[in-house]
Chain A
């Protein structure tokens, strides 16, 4: 498999070599299926990262990661400093939350969630005081002297989660991956429109490279590969320049969706596949996003917790698309205003990329750690029509990067045969949306799959609950039986004792009678 990787990097420098290897990559990209959605990255790619002006109020949800929500550690009315811990991690899978700026906590209550449901979730409301007064930070002058555990502990304390969108607590991943062979840094950014990773690589490559080295040190990885899609030549250039002294390879990958998916980037860069139901560590691989590497650098070098991120504001309905560095908790509306507002009515607002992002209906929702993009799309860009019957053209089969039969799975789900869909590999679906994207009949295939996954999860929860109830009921009847048994034993014992006593009394009386007689 090394040949494949070498083939991808041997052409460095010469333009002809580059062209040849790119061509080579297209045929032997290692990834199956995949689609070429219209990139639309040109809308915002040339716009450098600008800091968003400080909003008046921030809405910081307690849960911005996979796992348990954080527990509040400050009270309403309290003044907090920038970077101060306001909610602590709770349990094994969780991440702490920090104050994005200094100000007063004015409320801890429900605010609309950055989620299609728009349901209220527990959220801090922070009235910013405009002073940007930092909490004392624990900087580190020689981060490479730190122990692996120490790096992971600092990453955990900084509340860093996977910034590619999955928002899995990063420290946990470090601890679970110690001693892996390969560290892959994901600069794929295969979602159309998004340019936040592109910009951060162009502008902050040195910091990213140091962050990558720290991650590599924390897991003692033997090789480090940075994978970047070849539609970002400036980012590749910047990263190659910054990585010159470091021992890592920067590889140009073919631009194809979903190249940035963990499973696919591993397949493309190492030729290996994660076993079904397993994790990358099972094959000695750890994958982190470039923005996560930057956050790690900030946390270790300067002690800064994760309180802001780069967000791409784009889409056909945005007046001047751009990339901004926004504090966590900033309402989406502020970012849209910063981008000049709407040039026309948006048919749909999306948080994240167009392929896997979530539809939002309320622009009061806050930016959270996992928000990579805010898109205001026109109906032309969405290009969705009413679904027509499946003609079994199997375009979806060709597009699926996992090797599934989307048309067959959808047919089973339509017929309420969920177990049939599971047998076809429903649980292996990564919900990348390639099948829905290419379907000429515009059948919402991924919608079917996510519906089925949700229904299955509910069924499984129901089954667990039923089992738990049954266990409780069994325990109760056993307890009642035991009490009955014990009471019966007690009664029998008492009866025996009474009889013995009576017998003894009788004998004694008889004895006494005999004696008196």
Chain B
């Protein structure tokens, strides 16, 4: 180290590891809820994803002849795998999680140059890869089988589901958005399709078929608020994303309620809550400034709604995030803070003698 130290000689007690740990803690309520709701298969899938990410990242770092320990210990790879796991169908087979995790940390992150260098959110890149490559496995949802329910699976049965793709008897179900899309293709209107399928209170708690950790809207909101309170993230991007989804949903549902789902359906389904508070707030792939983050979040929300409403896929969060990731450098280029003593264009403010 340099024998002459440069100021400042005081530093805030923070580190990358602590930041990642806080995010993981904020994810814990929603994750535990997912574990309870979907039972042992969900736990296995989550664990497999994280182990695969650690091993995959360690392997690549070893290839680069760098020290493995600090890279693993910063927690960013684990967090990526965690987020990916939360976005997977809970009864998906193990290799989905392994492929996704490896893709996320190796192709999504390390190939770009490691932590801080990637352009696209690794978890979302992996999810999109899986969705395009393995559409069947990625859209097979099972109705919740809570750990505590009488027909819940035990540890061994859970292992069979995850590792031997043992089907769960008669439990095939559809996610809310998938269901709506299917019903539309059958010419059934929204009001009828939603009857008995969408109850706001259940959606709020997350008692429905869906991804491992995306359904528990309230838990995710709680975690997000913790992150805002801990100043890990700011409200701008999440709020803007929720706005970007809710506003067009409201307008269009008012125009034609039988074809366009209302804001509550959109906000409480799919990956919007997880995306708004945990995905688009990924610092690496989002803009630098508060205003930039607001624009970014708004874009993510709008694109999500557009893809859900008019696109081929029932869910659009992952695609929307990747598209806006690509726009991040552009946003950063044009949205910069005004510098003290200068106007927005960078010219010095006028002097006013004796004013």
Residues of A with Cβ closer than 8 Å to B? 32, 35, 37-38, 116-117, 179-181, 192, 263, 267, 272-278, 281-284, 348, 350, 354-359, 361, 375, 377, 381-385, 388-394, 397-398, 400-405, 407-408, 425, 428, 431, 433, 436-442, 444, 446-447, 450
Does B211 lie at the interface of the complex (its beta carbon under 8 Å from any beta carbon of A)? no
* Interface pair B116/A428, CB less than 8 Å apart: no
A-B contact pairs, 27 of them (CB 8 A): A35-B12, A37-B12, A38-B10, A273-B341, A273-B349, A274-B340, A275-B350, A275-B351, A276-B342, A278-B351, A282-B351, A282-B353, A284-B353, A383-B12, A384-B9, A389-B115, A392-B116, A392-B283, A394-B288, A397-B337, A401-B340, A402-B339, A428-B339, A433-B7, A439-B11, A442-B11, A446-B7
Instruction: Scan residues 1-42 of chain B and give those whose CB is less than 8 A from a CB of chain A.
Output: 3-16, 18-19
Q: How far is the CA of A185 from the CA of B3 in the complex (A)?
A: 37
Is there contact, CB below 8 Å, between B341 and A354?
no
The distance from the CB of A480 to the nearest CB of chain B, in whole angstroms, is 45
Task: Compute how far the CA of A388 lies from the CA of B341 in the bound complex, rounded to whole angstroms.
Answer: 33
Q: Which of B331-354 contact A (CB under 8 A)?
A: 332, 336-342, 346, 348-354
Task: Pick the contact of B339: A38, A390, A404, A438 (CB < 8 A).
Answer: A404
Contact B116 A389 (CB under 8 A): yes
Contact A450 B6 (CB under 8 A): yes
Report Cα–Cα, A439/B10, bound state, in Å. 11
Q: Which residue of B lies closest to A36 (CB)?
A: B12
Q: Decide yes or no: A263 and B340 within 8 Å by CB, A375-B9, A377-B9 being known contacts.
A: yes
Q: In the bound complex, do residue B7 and residue A355 qualify as a contact, i.e. CB atoms below 8 Å apart?
A: yes
Query: Is B355 close to A, CB under 8 A?
Result: yes
Total chain B interface residues with beta-carbon distance under 8 A: 47
Q: How far is the CA of A276 from the CA of B243 in the complex (A)?
A: 37
Q: Least Cβ distance of B60 to chain A in Å?
A: 15
- Chain B residues contacting A388 (CB-CB under 8 Å) are 15-16, 70, 74, 115
Q: Which of B4, B9, B15, B342 has the most CB of A within 10 A?
A: B9
Say yes or no: A382 contacts B337, CB within 8 Å.
no
**Distance A394 CA – B331 CA, assembled complex (angstroms):** 14
Residue pair A440, B340 in contact (C-beta under 8 Å): no
Which residues on A sit within 8 Å (CB–CB) of B290?
398
Residues of B within 8 A of A273 (CB): 340-341, 349
Q: Answer yes or no: B178 CB below 8 A from chain A CBs.
A: no
A442 near B289: Cβ-Cβ < 8 Å:
no
Q: Quick check: is B76 within 8 A (CB to CB) of the other chain?
A: yes
Interface of A is mostly: loop
Q: Other CB < 8 Å A-B pairs besides A382-B10, A402-B339, 8 of them?
A: A117-B4, A278-B351, A359-B6, A400-B337, A425-B339, A428-B342, A433-B8, A440-B16
Interface-central residue, A35, A277, A357, A437, by most chain B CB under 10 Å:
A437
Chain B contact residues, majority secondary structure: loop
A440 touches B19 (CB 8 A): yes
Q: Does B114 contact A (CB under 8 A)?
A: yes
Known: A179-B354, A263-B340, A275-B349. A391 touches B6 (CB 8 A): no
Residue-wise, chain B 281-310 has the 8 Å CB interface mask toward A (1 for contact) of 001101011100000000000000000000
Q: For residue B14, which residues in chain A have a CB less than 8 angstroms away from its CB? A: 438, 440
With A354-B7, A388-B70 as contacts: A394 and B341 at CB distance below 8 Å: no
Which single member of A181, A408, A437 contacts B10 (CB below 8 Å)?
A: A437
* Cβ-defined contact, A405 with B76, below 8 A: no
Within 8 A of A (CB), among B179-207: none
Nearest CB to that of B10 among chain A residues?
A354
Contact with A along B112-141 (1 / 0, CB 8 A): 001111000000000000000000000000
Shortest CB-to-CB span from B111 to chain A, Å, is 15
Least CB distance from B8 to A in Å reads 3
The residues of B that contact A284 with a CB separation of less than 8 Å are: 352-355
User: A393-B283, A394-B283, A405-B336 are contacts. A355–B74 as well, Cβ < 8 Å?
Assistant: no
A403 touches B339 (CB 8 A): yes
Q: Given A275-B348, A356-B7, A361-B4, does the pair A283, B116 have CB atoms closer than 8 Å?
A: no
* Residues of A contacting B7 in the complex (Cβ-Cβ under 8 angstroms): 350, 354-359, 431, 433, 436, 446
Are the CB atoms of B354 and A181 closer together than 8 Å? yes
Given the complex, which residues of A lie within 8 Å of B288, measured CB to CB?
392, 394, 397, 405, 407-408
Residues of B within 8 A of A377 (CB): 9-10
Contact B4 A359 (CB under 8 A): yes
Evaluate contact between B3 and A361: CB separation under 8 angstroms: yes
**Which 8 residue pairs of A and B lie closest in terms of their CB atoms, listed nearest first?**
A433-B8, A282-B351, A276-B348, A276-B341, A403-B337, A393-B283, A447-B6, A383-B11
Chain B residues with Cβ under 8 A from A276's Cβ? 339-342, 348-349
